[in-house]
Each structure stands twice: as C-alpha cells, then as structure tokens.
C-alpha cells in the first residue's frame, strides 16, 4: 500500500491503527499454492496465532485455506468464521487432556506432541484419527525463542523416541493419520528444511495409515529491501519432487500440508502511529509515538527490525531517529534509524505488521488495544474498533472495600 492511502486511513480511523492489505494476503497464498502446484493434494492451513481477526479468517476461508490452531479458543474462532471442523488442525503444546478431548469432539484434526497424552488419548479414543508431531532435532529458526525443533525444545516427540511411539500405537490400536513437524520460524536455508523433511519421510514409513504429512512452516519474509527470504519456489520444486517420489514408495496418495502464518500475513500489515514528541537529547533524537510494546512487541521480544516510514513526509530529508513508545520502561522500536524528517503529529508506518503484532498486543499500562482495518478492493473496512474505558473494566468484579 502507498503512503497516501495509509495516511487517509489514519486520518479516518485515528491512530494507532493496524491496516491489512487483502490483496497481499491473497497473492502470498497464491504464490505458495503455485510453488506446489504439481502436488495433487496440497493443503495450506493458515496459522491463526499470527493474526486472528475473524474477518481475516473469513478471507482465508474464501481462498479455500484450512486453519492451524493451537488452542481451543482459536478452534472456536475458526468455527465461528465458518470453517468446517475437517479444515482445522489443532496443534497444542502442554495443554490438558480434557481440552484435547473437547476439541476432538468438535471433529477437528488432533495433533499430539507428547508421549503421555498420546498414550492416554490412544487408550481412550483408539478410533479418533490422530496426527503425531515429531521433533526432528534440526536447528532452524531466526531467534532462539522461535527455533523449536532443536534438542532442548519443548515441542514435538523426539525422533529418538520413535520406538516408544510405535509401541503406544500398537498397544492402543490407535489410528495415526498424519505426521507433522514444525522446526521454527524464519528459516533461511532450504537445505536445512529439506534435511528435516527427510527425517519426516523416514518416520512416515513406520505408519501404514497416513493421509497426510504436515511440514509445518517457518518461511522467512523480507523486512526491508534486499532482505533474504525463504525461496518458496525453489523449496516447491525440490520438496515436490521428493514428496512425489515418497508417495510412490509409500504406495498411496498423501496430502502435503503447510501451516504458514508469517508468510501469509506479515507483509500485508501496516501499523500506523502518531508522533507525540520529538525529543532531542545530547546524543539522540527520539521520536515518541502514541503506542508502545503493548501494541507491537516484536522489536522488544525478538529484536525484529520493522521498516519505519514517515508517511506524513515521505520525501523529506532523511535524519537519524530512535523511535520509542510511551510505555514506562524501555520501549524501543528502532535505534538510530534513517527516517525522513519527523515533526510532531506526523504518522509513522511500520511495515511487516501483519503477523504476531495485534495478536500479541496487551493492555499493559492500561492502554487500549488499537483498531484494525482491512483494505480490500480499494475500500477500508473497520474490522475491529479500538477499545474504550469500559473494555478495561470488563470482567473485573469490584468488591466493597
Ligand atoms: C506449530 C506451528 N505451526 C505454524 C506456525 C507458524 O509459523 P510461521 O508464522 O513462521 O509461518 C507456528 C508458529 O509459531 C507453529 O508453532
């Protein structure tokens, strides 16, 4: 989206505000399906955790996408958005047996990632099809918090425990219809991904009743010009070849599943915030905005560097700024960044604000969560209004003191 459009939206809906470009979401979805077009049965399950607004989920439904969910609440949101249960995959980590059973009752595909639940679930529900999340112990991912396939990770069942898995499956007679991995986010090296896939193929041979293999996600997207991104086209060519060969070896057609979040929505999102104060100190010029890590925590949590543009003065002379929030602790979005000259009242646009931005927002410092706008067919739709004071009191039960 261009600066004038974004500025118009900020003027119309106020700041701070999240804006999502539907056309970009659609083109990313098509890009991925195109990269794997030679696979007969391809299933893309959008990872709801990245951005869970119901209008965004409906957009994915219209694209014929499925959903990847990690909590019963995400499952319920998906059903509310109109997805049928068989298009939803549930991949929890560390949740209770009762939640898993409740989701299974809804008819959603269960993915189990620990031996204890596998054994309990298999014993009680041997006829419910279950997918198993394998940890291939491949180190991938751009940051230690999002690198989840390594030896110390809490995710998945270790590949070294395969004999144990097989014993449970045999003893319970449970029905395993899928096998899954997700090694982490921001994978740069396709070869690492392909290597982990080989481990998954090897594992798959031990299960005779599979309908699908889920390769998770982790596609890296560019944050600024010249950034390296996962080459999904190359991955498509290489993995498709290997997948088709495996299908022959396995002796039946399988569905190839991916569950991307970031790849599908990151670049479609913009976060617009107003500069409240320009503060010159002895060493730095700070631009203090009407937001903080309560709205966009990624720079503080993961060190992610969102490209920031002054859309009120896009062609102005560039100067160095540190962009900071209003939260009462260190709250830095960018340090010594070249941004076209900023005046108080200007609107800054943060790029890559589609994934893990609004969905990670909070009310810290008792601030309201911002509005969300969907830009579709040259029209701006308000898809969430910003919060008001009542929202802060909602669910509180005041007592007489
Ligand atoms: C199990 C699982 N699948 C898919 C995803 C989506 O990953 P990404 O946003 O990197 O595509 C995640 C992210 O944390 C995940 O945990």
Tell me the DSSP string of 332-372: EEEEEEEEE---TT-EEEESS-SSSSGGG---GGGPPPPEE
Q: Is the pLDDT of residue 245 over 90?
A: yes
241 lies in some domain? yes
Residue 262 CA to ligand 1 centre (angstroms):
8
Q: Is the pLDDT of residue 128 over 70?
A: yes
Q: Is 92 in the pocket of ligand 1 (CB under 6 A)?
A: no
Domain count, the chain: 2
Q: Is the pLDDT of residue 118 over 70?
A: yes
3-state helix, strand, coil in the chain (%, to 5): 35, 25, 40
Atom of ligand 1 nearest to the CA of 263: 11
| Cβ contact 44:66 at 8 Å | yes
Residues 288 and 356 in one domain: yes
Predicted pLDDT at 318: 97
309 has binding-site annotation: no
CATH number, domain with residue 131: 3.20.20.10
| Cβ contact 183:193 at 8 Å | yes
2 lies in some domain? no
Pocket test for ligand 1, best of 45, 50, 178, 187 (most atoms within 8 A of CB): 50
Counting residues of the chain whose pLDDT is more than 70, the rounded percentage is 96
Q: Is 45 in the pocket of ligand 1 (CB under 6 A)?
A: no
Q: How far apart are CA 327 and CA 206, in angstroms?
A: 52
Residues 113 and 226 in one domain: yes
Predicted pLDDT at 148: 54
Q: Is the pLDDT of residue 187 over 80?
A: no
CA distances from 207 to 39, 65, 73, 131 (A): 21, 26, 31, 11
Q: Is 306 in the pocket of ligand 1 (CB under 6 A)?
A: no
Predicted pLDDT at 139: 64
16 lies in some domain? no
* pLDDT tens by residue, 167-183: 999 999 999 999 999 98
Residue 60 CA to ligand 1 centre (angstroms):
16
Residues 108 and 147 in one domain: yes
Predicted pLDDT at 183: 80
* pLDDT tens by residue, 36-94: 999 999 999 999 999 999 999 999 999 999 999 999 999 999 999 999 999 999 999 99
Residues 230 and 275 in one domain: no
Atom of ligand 1 nearest to the CA of 50: 9
Residues 258 and 274 in one domain: no
Residue 97 CA to ligand 1 centre (angstroms):
22
Nearest-CA residue for atom 16 of ligand 1: 182
Pairing, β 157-158 against β 42-47: unpaired
Residue 46's DSSP bridge partners are: 67
Predicted pLDDT at 201: 97
Burial class of residue 399 in the structure, from the number of CB atoms within 10 Å of its CB (0-12 exposed, 13-18 middle, 19+ buried): exposed
Tell me what the pLDDT averaged over the chain comes to. 95
Average pLDDT (17-24) is: 98
The contacts of residue 34 (CB under 8 Å, 6+ apart) are 236
Predicted pLDDT at 51: 98
Predicted pLDDT at 151: 67
Pocket test for ligand 1, best of 31, 48, 49 (most atoms within 8 A of CB): 49
Residues 245 and 297 in one domain: no
Q: Is 298 in the pocket of ligand 1 (CB under 6 A)?
A: no
Single out the catalytic residue among 228, 281, 315, 328: 328
Q: Is the pLDDT of residue 268 over 80?
A: yes
The verdict on whether 357 is a catalytic residue reads no
| Cβ contact 375:22 at 8 Å | yes
Q: Is 61 in the pocket of ligand 1 (CB under 6 A)?
A: no
Choose one of 262, 289, 305: the last residue of a domain. Answer: 262
399 lies in some domain? no
Predicted pLDDT at 146: 46
Phi, psi of 168 (to 5 degrees): -60, -45
Residues 126 and 158 in one domain: yes
Q: What is the DSSP secondary structure assignment for residue 219, as one 8-state letter? A: B
Residues 230 and 323 in one domain: no
Query: Is the pTM higher than 0.85?
Result: yes
In terms of residue numbers, what domain contains 379? 269-383
For 214: left if phi > 0, alpha if psi spans -120 to 50, otherwise beta; the answer is beta
Residue 183 CA to ligand 1 centre (angstroms):
9
Residues 45 and 154 in one domain: yes
CATH number, domain with residue 299: 2.40.37.10
DSSP 142-199: SSGGGB-SSTT-SSSEEGGGHHHHHHHHHHHT--EEEEE---BS-B--HHHHHHHHHH
Q: How far apart are CA 44 and CA 64, in angstroms?
A: 9
Residues 109 and 225 in one domain: yes
* pLDDT tens by residue, 138-156: 865 555 544 555 667 788 9
């Amino acid at each position: 989206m261009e600066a004038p459009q974004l500025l118009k939206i900020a003027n119309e809906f106020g700041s701070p505000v999240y804006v999502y470009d539907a056309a970009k979401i659609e083109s990313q979805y098509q890009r991925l399906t195109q990269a794997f077009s030679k696979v007969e049965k391809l299933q893309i399950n959008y990872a709801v955790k990245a951005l869970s607004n119901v209008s965004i989920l409906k957009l994915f439904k219209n694209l014929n996408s499925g959903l990847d969910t990690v909590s019963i609440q995400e499952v319920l949101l998906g059903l509310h958005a109109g997805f049928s249960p068989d298009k939803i995959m549930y991949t929890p980590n560390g949740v209770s047996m009762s939640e898993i059973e409740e989701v299974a009752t809804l008819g959603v595909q269960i993915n189990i990632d620990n031996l204890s639940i596998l054994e309990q679930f298999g014993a009680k529900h041997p006829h419910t099809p279950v997918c198993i999340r394998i940890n291939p112990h491949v180190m991938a991912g751009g940051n230690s918090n999002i690198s989840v396939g390594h030896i110390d990770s809490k995710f998945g069942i270790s590949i070294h425990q395969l004999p144990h898995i097989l014993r449970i499956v045999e003893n319970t007679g449970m029905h395993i219809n899928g096998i899954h991995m997700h090694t982490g986010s921001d994978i740069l090296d396709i070869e690492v991904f392909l290597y982990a896939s080989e481990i998954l193929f090897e594992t798959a041979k031990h299960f005779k009743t599979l309908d699908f293999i889920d390769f998770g996600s982790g596609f890296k997207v560019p944050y600024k010009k010249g950034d390296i991104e996962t080459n999904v086209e190359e991955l498509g060519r290489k993995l498709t070849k290997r997948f088709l060969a495996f299908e022959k070896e396995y002796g039946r057609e399988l569905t190839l599943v991916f569950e991307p979040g970031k790849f599908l929505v990151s670049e479609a999102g913009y976060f617009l915030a107003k500069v409240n104060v320009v503060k010159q100190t002895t060493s730095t010029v700070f631009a203090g905005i009407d937001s903080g890590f309560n709205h966009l925590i990624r720079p503080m949590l993961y060190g992610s560097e969102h490209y920031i543009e002054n859309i009120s003065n896009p062609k102005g002379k560039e100067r160095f700024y540190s962009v900071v929030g209003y939260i009462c602790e260190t709250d830095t979005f960018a340090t010594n960044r070249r941004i076209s000259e900023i005046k108080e009242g200007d609107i800054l646009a943060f790029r890559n604000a589609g994934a893990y931005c609004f969905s990670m927002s909070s009310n810290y410092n008792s601030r309201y969560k911002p509005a969300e706008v969907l830009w579709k067919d040259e029209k701006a739709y308000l898809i969430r209004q910003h919060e008001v004071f009542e929202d802060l009191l909602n669910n509180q039960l005041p007592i007489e003191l």
